[in-house]
Chain A
Amino acid sequence: MNLTVKNGSFYYNKSTPIFSDINFSVDSGDILAILGPNGAGKTTMLRCITGMLKWRSGQSLLDDEPIHTMPMRKLWSKMAYVPQAKSVTSAYTVLETVLLGRSSHMNVFSAPKAEDIEKAQYALDLLGISHLSDKKCSAISGGELQMVLIARALASEPQVLILDEPESNLDFKNQLVVLNAMTKLSSCGMTCVFNTHYPAHALQRANKSLILSRGGEYVFGSTASVITEENIRKAFGVEAVIGEIETSGNILQNVIPLKIAHGETENADDRTKRSIATVTIIANSNNMADKINGLLHEYGSLMVGRMGMPYRECGLYLINITLDGTKEKILELSQKLNILPDVSVKTTFAKGDFDKVGRGDILE
């Protein structure tokens, strides 16, 4: 289901807008991460998106239908909201709590029927927490409670899931449990929107991101284009590096904050600066080798050197290229290579300043 925000603006006090003219759109299977420093209005934005708070101007649309004209019941049977686990009164048992999520499907005077209980149990099963069903919500851990709240949201069989900092206040393991649940749901076609304090989670899980700065500026787009060192410095005032951590199966992207940025002066990562880099590529199939060649052709203007050889005994293709161009272009190419399946890519930048040096080929 498509969720679109058009020209959304909100303020408590007219002279100091929280945000103005927000535009974005997410579809089935998308995960959108909303990032921003404390007090930038992430939660306010979620409340505006869901219609719990009214946009001062602009609107949210669910499949082109404005949210504010939809009846509550209809809206909340398509969309579900997962609050932070800490703000929850917890006098009910887990199953009772999850059943509350069925409210939008029930008549005013009715109690949960067998069908509702089935749906609630299905939601618990899906998240792997059915063993908790008879426990009191006050007697389970924070991570479990967060999962229960997600289950409650799922019980209403929504197509859009809105989560307010679902992985805050949780330990490493529970963060993964919650993030995995979200990834799983989106792969089944759920549209997920979540607030987070962790740019790394956006990089690893979300295909779209939105960074909100204090003062209402924002950037929205594909995660790779939004979560950049530059944008993090602008929004959070922190010098950070985005690095990769290799594991045997995966290359995970991570954001490591280095220091608090002072003013605009330091510009360690000028993406328009001329850079020299070598990229080492190992492909496992002929098929991929063709795609790689296509990409290399596309970025031919950067290419100053190229070496390639097959290692037939192992079915590998080894390619080594040297690039000369703006850092932005080089990173773009390496990211495009990186997302190809069965391809390993490593990019190494040369140290030094090359702006005044002329350009020539290394190899004839």
Chain B
Amino acid sequence: MITMKTGKLRTSWCITLIVLPFITGLLALGIGRIWISPGEVFSAIAGVFTGSADIPVLTKMTLWNLRLPRIILAAIAGAGLSAAGCAFQSLFANPLATPDTLGVASGASFGAALGLLLGFGMIGVQATALVMGGIAVCLTWLGGTGKNKGLGTIVLSGIMMGSLFNALVSVVKFVADEESQLPAITYWLMGGLDHTSYEALALGAPPIIIGIIVLFLLRWRMNLLPLSEDEARSSGVNISVMRGITVVCATMITASCVSMCGQVGWVGLLIPHMCRMKFGSNHLSLYPASISFGAVFMIIADTVARSASAQEIPISILTAIVGAPFFIILMRRTGGLAR
């Protein structure tokens, strides 16, 4: 268990949280339609360092060009979505907040759909998604902050912006070519990590990693976010700046995740709640745990998505089908939303 005294993680948990995603990733490397045994995986990894040439080309191709980027993406996206969810739930002091609360994901989806409609390449689609996600949040922020700026107004504004961009996605689908573009858009919206490449990662991963790190450094300060306005102000911390940083980081993470793997629901809601049940609400332990378990969950989900059946299962379907019942069981067992 954790030491309740300060909310800091015990060393054993620290190590577990760091090591767990890597072990999961290593195991996932071997799993797929082409089965590669752990032994082969290890000799292949060793081969990279020793330069030995007796690794079959097919194994190398599968491991380094197909599976590794996917697993890296899954880990980063899972960690990112979970971190963003955790941040938003604290920011809005609302257990139902998700990474999409401010309309980022809808904006990014519209961007991607537009990119596909205009026939951009994969990187182009990713870039438009990223930009539109950012625009959506800016609009939400502009609409929600005013004279009586409360966080409630921003959430409402986010919901409005979300539905506006969802409507725009429908417009794009409506005008899209039924033969080629419409299926591509629909499939993309369902989410998936199958069109990953190192180039896509190079564009999409840095915003996620930067966001995660900044929030990680501020993790103790995040404890102040759910406090009421007066309480937060009287802590002597500039709470508006803290909120601003949280929104920017969480938005950057979410837009980037959506731009790379579509709308993957549930991770941002499920993982932080699971971690709250286990680690309590102190972000000193909650935040690192959310990152780690988010990565692990996503790697597992994606591994199942690509290897369970001959046809790849869209990952958002999988996360919901696994996530919803699992969450309910957990909630009933622990007696409520870890309050």
Contact = CB atoms under 8 A, between A and B. Distances in A.
Q: Which DSSP category, helix, strand, loop or mixed, fits chain B's interface?
A: loop
A83 B230 contact: yes
Q: Which DSSP category, helix, strand, loop or mixed, fits chain A's interface?
A: mixed
A231 interface: no
A142 interface: no
A13 interface: no
A103 B7 contact: no
B196 interface: no
Interface string B282-306: 1010000000000000000000000
A310 interface: no
A108 B228 contact: no
A133 B6 CA distance: 10
B238 A72 contact: yes
Contacts of A103: 221, 224, 235-237
Of the four ranges (under 10, 10 to 19, 20 to 34, 35 or more), the interface on chain B belongs to 20 to 34
B339 A134 contact: no
Contacts of A133: 5
A77 B236 contact: yes
Interface residues of A, number: 39
Contacts of B199: none
Contacts of A153: 234
Contacts of B230: 47, 52, 81, 83
Nearest to B238: A72
Contacts of B226: 89, 91
Contacts, number: 90
Contacts of A80: 234
Most buried by A among B8, B237, B338: B237
Given A89-B93, A91-B226, A100-B224, A117 B6 contact: yes
A156 B236 contact: yes
A100 B234 contact: no
Interface in B207-257: 217-221, 223-224, 226-228, 230-231, 233-238
A93 B7 CA distance: 9
A143 B61 CA distance: 66
Interface of B: 4-8, 93, 217-221, 223-224, 226-228, 230-231, 233-238, 276, 280-282, 284, 338-339
Given A109-B217, A111-B284, 6 more contacts: A87-B228, A92-B280, A92-B282, A93-B282, A103-B221, A133-B5
Interface of A: 47, 50, 52, 72-73, 75-77, 79-81, 83, 87-93, 95-96, 99-101, 103-104, 106, 108-112, 117, 133-134, 136, 138, 153, 156
